[in-house]
Amino acid sequence: MKALTPWFVAGVALAQSAGAQNVPFHPAGTTKVVLAAPFAGTIPLGGSSAPVQQSPVTIESVYSGIGLSMFAPGARLTGLAMRSGSVAWPASGASFADYTIALGRGVAGPGSLSPVITENYTDAATVVSGARVIPAGAFLARPSPFFPAPFSYEFGFASAYTYGGGHLHVLMSQTGSSVSPVALDAAGAADTGANMLFQARSAEIAGAGETTQAAAAPVVRLSVDPFVDVPLQAERVANGNAAFTGILGQTGATVQVVIAADQIRFVPEGSLITSISLRLAPGAAAWPDAESSTGAMTIEVASAARAPGAMSATFSENRGSDAIIVRDGAMTLGAGSISGSDFGTPIYFQRGFVYKGGDLLVTIRHGAFSRPGPALSTANPAAAVRAVAAASQLAADGEFLSADAGLAVRIGYTPSACVMPAYTLASGGSGAFLFDAPRVHQMLIDAAQLAEIPAGSLINGIAFRVSPVNPAGYVSWPEADATVAQCDIELSETLVMASGMDNTFALNQGPSPVKVRSGPLFVPRQAMKVLSPEVAEHSFVVPFATPYRYDGGNLCVTMRLGQMTGATTVNFDGRFRPTGHNARRSVGSSTATGGNTALSFAARLMFTPPAPTCPADFNGDGVVDDADFALFVRGYDVLETAAGDLNFDAMTDDADFSVFVAAYEALVCP
């Protein structure tokens, strides 16, 4: 055995621990996706008051799997929002004796819905149920006749729905509202994509078994926690060898997993990887049988220096130079954290790992847990994922799992990009107040700085981070819950380059700026985390109620902010006039029309990539060739999987092969 070498990388250990907490790095549902996608930022011709009408109704809609194909099977849906088609609603609280929403895999696609509801879906789960009161004004009005209303009211799900690929079937049933309804945005037969991207039917009764008439499909926005199940073809079937029992038990342990790049191709480069989940071997009892704790659990993530097939049994030889510790400290997992056939409770990171593309390496080291360990699911093929383990928390070497298997893992991530790319992993070296007092702050970002955000993406939120320029105050912020009285944000594409930014705010904006959020902003205690001695985290997201479609070009961000209460001020990280950036601000008023030179913040934009125009291009290189065929065959060999699903029926079979052959013969993606 080689001499023991440090398993950590100097200078990247966490400055402080979150103890036994296991909380999401970003708020749940930070990522959003709009179904009936053509209408994310535009108004459909159709409309429907059915979801909020005064009489009972059942509405079933099916949305094409193309609208969710930017996410891997394993993504968890956590909420559903609709929007008003005109005015604010309701005038007073609207009560429903029962409002039920169920999601399932659509076995009948758009244009093929049967009047018999049960013939249209499978794998259904009820995510909303029971009496409900929608507060007065919860659905906001359209800001103008030309822009859609915000998605301002969300039905949060009682439990997340795991998307397994294919079309999505949405069934709503409500017993009637206590107040007059409003027409909500809905896509009808005359709208682009009817019977291809969406279809809906309805019945004038709650809990109907059949839908008796055609209807407009509500424009809905889903909140998503993106996950990738590895290997991709294992999301529905057990695919591994004998159960692995080497971690999470009553002795210290180390396990290292290397994941091939093609398995995590759904993760956009520049995004933050934020969690890992494990799964039980088939037939294993739920784990743990009672709460299980350890005083030390450390997780390190890095780009893999070796591919799965060339993985070394010496841990340090697999680690790329960008390794960081993403979690460190005590860990408690509640009874039944891993159960059934699905992946268990995610182990959330305390800081995010910026994914740069290529193979990924995850190393977990822990001390003894208080309860016996679980029997975990392993996975093949070794070309997709491979693992080495040792029965010691400080081991330098380990042994390969049986038959060179890897652990079946679920990787959580947030599609996003630091829009000051040069300072993604390092401080900009300056700081400035933002959420402190009334002001206007505007930033111009050149297109070259936005290369990690694909054209056609929906931008759903923005995050800032604390600046380390004042070490004495370099702690997680705010020290108590805080409220910013006004936080209005507008985004627009613009022809103005950062170097030519004007002092007048309006002259820097494009012709049709979109107000993506307005009103007060609540900032929870310590939402903006400081865990590293070098750079803070983009951990708190300012969510957008209206998605902004980015189609390329320069971007202008205009923020009009009110007074903050509840916490002291703090400097946010950034730099004055870095390459491709510029900023102006006016202090003392949120209505100012112009300002002077200001700091450009090292912000991170949260986005949802557009649906792929060439789904058969599995490795994303712009052509469909033999490399893609090798990836397609992996899913085709398993069949009961969505890994190679090209017709969105949540299976990979001969019908998908026909689609692939046509794309293969065309070679170049459209």
Please report which helix (H) or strand (E) contains residue 636, including its range: helix 626-638
Instruction: Verify that 383 and 467 share a domain, yes or no.
Output: no
Query: 404 and 285 in one domain?
Result: yes
Q: Do residue 103 and residue 192 come from a single domain?
A: yes
Q: Are residues 289 and 410 in the same domain?
A: yes
Please determine, for residue 7, whether its predicted confidence score (pLDDT) is greater than 70. Answer: no
Question: Which residues, listed in sequence order, are joined to residue 589 by a DSSP beta bridge?
Answer: none
Indicate whether 530 belongs to any domain: yes
Q: Quick check: bond before 231 cis, omega within 30?
A: yes
- Does the pLDDT of residue 237 top 50, yes or no? no
- For residues 426 and 361, membership in a common domain is answered with no
What is the average pLDDT value for the chain, to the nearest integer?
Answer: 90
Q: What is the pLDDT of residue 638?
A: 58
pLDDT value at 235 more than 70? no
In a domain, 22, yes or no: no
Q: Which amino acid is at 537?
A: E
- Which of these three, 390, 414, 438, is where a domain ends? 414
Residue of 91, 48, 47, 53 lying closest to 174 (CA atoms): 53
Last residue within a domain, chosen from 218, 239, 271: 218
Q: Confidence class of residue 18 from pLDDT cuts 50, 70 and 90?
A: very low
- Do 650 and 566 belong to one domain? no
Give the SS3 label for residue 109: coil
Please report, for the chain, how many H helices and E strands are present, in that order: 3, 45
Which of 120-124, 316-320, 653-657 is predicted with the least confidence, judged by mean pLDDT?
653-657
pLDDT tens digits, residue range 364-422? 999 999 999 999 998 876 778 999 999 999 999 999 998 778 899 999 999 999 999 99
In this predicted structure, the answer to whether residue 667 has a pLDDT above a threshold of 90 is no
CATH of the domain at 42: 2.60.120
State the average pLDDT over residues 426-449: 95
Residues 6+ away with beta carbon under 8 Å from 243: 281, 284, 375, 376, 377, 378
Q: What is the pTM of this model?
A: 0.91
CA distance 388 to 399: 5
For the ranges 30-39, 443-452, 493-502, the lowest mean pLDDT is seen at 30-39
pLDDT at residue 635, as a whole number: 67
Query: Is residue 143 left, alpha or beta, with left meaning phi > 0 and alpha meaning psi from -120 to 50?
Result: alpha
Residue 28 placed within a domain? no
Question: What's the token pair of residue 148?
Answer: 């859609």
Q: Which of 15-19, 161-165, 340-344, 497-501 has the highest mean pLDDT?
A: 497-501
339 with 264, same domain: the answer is: yes
Q: Which of the listed residues 564, 582, 608 is the one where a domain comes to its end?
A: 608
Tell me which of 134-143, 223-232, 408-417, 632-641 is least confident. 632-641
Report yes or no on 4 lying in a domain: no
- Residue 14 domain flag: no
Whether 613 is covered by a domain: the verdict is: no
Print the domain residue range for 405: 227-414
In this structure, are 114 and 236 located in the same domain?
A: no
Nearest alpha carbon to residue 660 among 631, 620, 637, 638: 631
Does residue 240 carry a pLDDT above 60?
Answer: no
Query: Do 83 and 112 lie in a common domain?
Result: yes
Alpha helices in 249-299, H assignment, sequence order: none
Residues 361 and 465 in one domain: no
Tens digit of pLDDT for each residue in 349-359? Answer: 999 999 999 99
pLDDT for the residue 631: 75
Whether residue 129 is predicted with pLDDT greater than 60 in this model: the reply is yes
In a domain, 18, yes or no: no
User: Considering its fold, how many domains does the chain have in total?
Assistant: 4
Give yes or no: residues 213 and 244 share one domain.
no
> Are 511 and 584 found together in one domain?
yes
Q: Is residue 5 part of a domain?
A: no
